[in-house]
Amino acid sequence: MALWYATDKSFKIIELHADSPAKPDYGAACNGCGICCAASPCPVAFAFLFQFKGKCRALLWQEESRRYVCGMVVYPDRYVRLIPPRWREGSGQFFATRIAAGAGCDFAAEIDDLPEDPA
C-alpha cells in the first residue's frame, strides 16, 4: 500500500503493508501503523543501525497482531550483531524506553492515499 504524508517541512511517498491500521491522531495511543518509522529512522536507528534516511530496516510487520512493531524492541539481536540472543529481552526493554514505546503518537503529519496515476 502506497501512501503519501506531508509535514510542515516536506512530503514523501511511503510503502506499508496493505492491512496496516490508519494513523491515529497526534497524541492518541500508538496503534503500530508504522508511518513514522517508514518515513524516517529515529535516533535509535541513527545510533545503533547507522541508518539516517529512508524506511527503517528494523520496522517489523507482525501478522498475528496486524500491526508494526519496532524490531529493536522485540529482536534487537537480529539487527545488532554485538547483542547476543541472551540479552534480547534486556536490550529490547532498553530500546523500548529510548523510543518512548507506549507513549502517544508523536508523529504530526497529514496522511493520504497515493492519487491514481491519471495516465
Per CB under 6 A, 3 contacts ligand SF4:
no
Per CB under 6 A, 34 contacts ligand SF4:
yes
Choice between 74 and 85, CB closer to ligand SF4 = 74
114 Cβ neighbours under 8 A, 6+ residues apart: 2, 3, 4, 13
Choice between 41 and 119, CB closer to ligand SF4 = 41
**Strand 2-6, strand 11-15: pairing:** antiparallel
**Exactly one of 3, 14, 16, 23 binds ligand SF4 (CB under 6 A); which one?**
23
Which 3 state secondary structure label does DSSP give 47? helix
Choice between 23 and 83, CB closer to ligand SF4 = 23
Per CB under 6 A, 76 contacts ligand SF4:
no
Distances (CA, A) of 41 to 54, 55, 85, 96: 7, 7, 23, 15
Choice between 14 and 118, CB closer to ligand SF4 = 14
